[in-house]
């Protein structure tokens, strides 16, 4: 079991989150969805973030925490963040007029590994960087095994990703690129996928072929590598165009489809954090996106599945998830003709949270085994009430 607790961090006053296979965060902008996602991502990547070769590794870890969680820490007078996995925990806490303190079983283990590095460095007379890097990598694997984090690599797919598919190959490797760290990191990840891209028509994997059909339906086409080895976008009308000429909706959705299909192709599990998958998509496209996400989440590699965090503002995303959850519980086999079995979602594997006014509350209805949509419906009612008020002036 994995759990995140947050108190007084940015707009979040209190959050207690048990991570499940599919985690849905909904709320207005600036309500804390991104902060919560970044905290999860930091702890999912902590084995790779710790630098065991540094004497002041703890200060470096605090710096990395503040860099990854994109809020103004100067304004944070006190906060508490805890990550717990299988009864092992690590806490970052800042009390009033104090510096950030780290503690917990995981931190104690990190200190042990750091001491191991220090002792090895004393024994090694020739401290070549290659030897230290080798030591560091071995300790990273130890920490991964300790946390059981070697099964799901974390990938953060940020919002505002329209430029990702059209920039030059080496753009995201530039040291002083003035963009979000999350965009830069995902840009490098996506670029690496495209370097090894093989046309989907050449794939023999049945799951990838099914995912390609869903992707083509939403994107109105699919990317290909043409006869000159150039990446193009092949429209459903059988015309190839440059990626830069496709619509904003296609540019926002394309990196999601490509990244998630790649996880099936390389037979590896991932923990995907996807911000606003609905961006620039028609409601029907949003439904198709959720069906695609469900298929990827349900895919098993050595009895492990992919996991997701989805942040959203869209009621269509919630409704689409509910359709797939409801289908799972229907016993009539005919339901599989409406919702294929590989898209159906077990309610027990879902967490859905509403972010509002600093509080984070579950919007799961345990009785109906569905996601509650009351707060979203209230917004629709407000819009309708305003319309009715205008109409009454005409009477």
71: left (phi over 0), alpha (psi -120 to 50) or beta: beta
Could you tell me the CATH number of the domain that includes residue 49? 3.40.50
CA 89 to chain centre: 21
- Looking at the fold, whether 180 and 125 belong to one and the same domain comes out as no
What pLDDT, on the 0 to 100 scale, is given for residue 305? Answer: 84
What pLDDT, on the 0 to 100 scale, is given for residue 3? Answer: 95
Q: In tens digits, what is the pLDDT along the chain, a chain of 395 residues?
A: 899 999 999 999 999 999 999 999 998 888 999 999 999 999 999 988 888 777 788 898 999 999 899 888 776 779 999 999 989 999 999 998 888 999 999 999 998 888 877 766 666 655 556 676 777 788 888 888 888 875 678 999 999 888 888 775 656 666 555 677 888 889 889 988 888 888 776 666 788 888 988 999 999 998 888 888 888 888 887 788 998 899 999 999 999 999 999 888 877 889 999 999 999 999 999 999 999 999 999 988 777 889 999 999 998 999 999 999 999 999 899 999 999 999 999 999 999 999 998 999 999 999 999 998 776 666 667 777 887 888 888 76
Alpha-carbon Rg for the chain in angstroms = 23
- Looking at the fold, whether 6 and 128 belong to one and the same domain comes out as yes
- Looking at the fold, whether 233 and 289 belong to one and the same domain comes out as no
HSE of 373, CA atoms in CB hemisphere, 13 A: 15
What pLDDT, on the 0 to 100 scale, is given for residue 370? Answer: 94
φ, ψ of residue 311 to 5 degrees: the values are: -100, 140
CA 309 to chain centre: 5
Integer Cα distance of 134 and 123 in angstroms: 15
- Looking at the fold, whether 253 and 362 belong to one and the same domain comes out as no
- Looking at the fold, whether 13 and 136 belong to one and the same domain comes out as yes
- Looking at the fold, whether 6 and 142 belong to one and the same domain comes out as yes
Q: What b/e readout covers 334-361, taking b as 16+ CB neighbours within 10 angstroms?
A: ebeeebeeebbbebebbbbbbbeeeebe
- Looking at the fold, whether 250 and 351 belong to one and the same domain comes out as no
- Looking at the fold, whether 257 and 275 belong to one and the same domain comes out as no
- Looking at the fold, whether 13 and 33 belong to one and the same domain comes out as yes
Give the predicted TM-score (pTM) of the model.
Answer: 0.91
- Contact assessment for residue 33 and residue 355, using Cβ atoms and an 8 Å cutoff: yes
The tally of domains found in the chain comes to 2
Cα–Cα–Cα angle for 183, 185, 190, nearest 5°? 90
- Give the residue from 230, 265, 300 where a domain finishes: 265
- Give the residue from 217, 236, 265 where a domain finishes: 265
Q: What Cα–Cα distance (Å) separates residue 169 from each residue in 189, 193, 245, 251?
A: 11, 11, 18, 16
Its domain, for residue 201, covers 159-265
- Looking at the fold, whether 279 and 130 belong to one and the same domain comes out as yes
Integer Cα distance of 385 and 150 in angstroms: 52
- Give the residue from 209, 234, 265 where a domain finishes: 265
What pLDDT, on the 0 to 100 scale, is given for residue 375? Answer: 61
What pLDDT, on the 0 to 100 scale, is given for residue 200? Answer: 72
- Contact assessment for residue 71 and residue 36, using Cβ atoms and an 8 Å cutoff: no
């Amino acid at each position: 079991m994995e759990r995140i607790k947050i108190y007084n961090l940015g707009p979040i006053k209190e959050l207690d989150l048990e991570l499940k296979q599919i985690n849905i965060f909904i709320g207005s902008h600036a309500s804390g969805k991104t902060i919560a996602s970044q905290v999860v991502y930091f702890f999912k990547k902590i084995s790779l973030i710790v630098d065991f070769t540094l004497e002041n590794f703890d200060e470096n870890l605090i710096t990395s925490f503040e860099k990854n969680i994109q809020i103004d820490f100067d304004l944070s007078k006190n906060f508490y963040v805890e990550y717990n996995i299988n009864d092992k925990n690590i806490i970052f806490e800042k009390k009033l007029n104090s510096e950030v303190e780290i503690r917990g079983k995981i931190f104690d283990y990190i200190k042990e590994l750091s001491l191991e590095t220090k002792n090895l460095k004393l024994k090694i007379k020739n401290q070549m960087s290659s030897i230290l890097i080798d030591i560091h990598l071995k300790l990273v694997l130890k920490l991964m095994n300790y946390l059981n984090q070697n099964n799901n690599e974390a990938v953060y797919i940020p919002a505002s990703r329209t430029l990702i598919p059209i920039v030059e190959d080496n753009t995201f490797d530039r040291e002083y690129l003035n963009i979000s760290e999350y965009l830069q990191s995902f840009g490098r990840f996506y670029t690496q996928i495209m370097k090894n891209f093989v046309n989907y028509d050449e794939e023999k994997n049945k799951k990838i072929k099914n995912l390609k059909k869903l992707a083509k339906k939403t994107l109105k086409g699919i990317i290909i590598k043409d006869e000159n080895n150039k990446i193009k976008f092949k429209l459903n009308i059988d015309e190839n165009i440059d990626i830069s000429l496709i619509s904003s909706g296609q540019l926002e959705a394309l990196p999601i489809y490509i990244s998630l299909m790649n996880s099936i192709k390389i037979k590896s599990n991932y923990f995907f954090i996807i911000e606003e998958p609905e961006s620039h998509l028609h409601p029907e496209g949003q439904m198709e996106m959720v069906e695609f996400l469900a298929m990827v989440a349900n895919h098993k590699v050595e009895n492990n599945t992919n996991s997701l965090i989805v942040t959203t503002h869209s009621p269509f995303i919630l409704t689409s998830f509910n359709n797939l959850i409801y289908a799972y519980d229907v016993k009539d086999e005919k339901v599989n003709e409406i919702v294929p079995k590989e898209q159906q979602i077990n309610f027990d594997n879902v967490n859905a949270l509403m972010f509002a006014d600093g509080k984070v509350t579950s919007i799961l209805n345990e009785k109906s085994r569905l996601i509650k949509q009351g707060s979203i419906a209230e917004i629709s009612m407000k819009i309708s009430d305003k319309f009715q008020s205008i109409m009454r002036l005409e009477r």
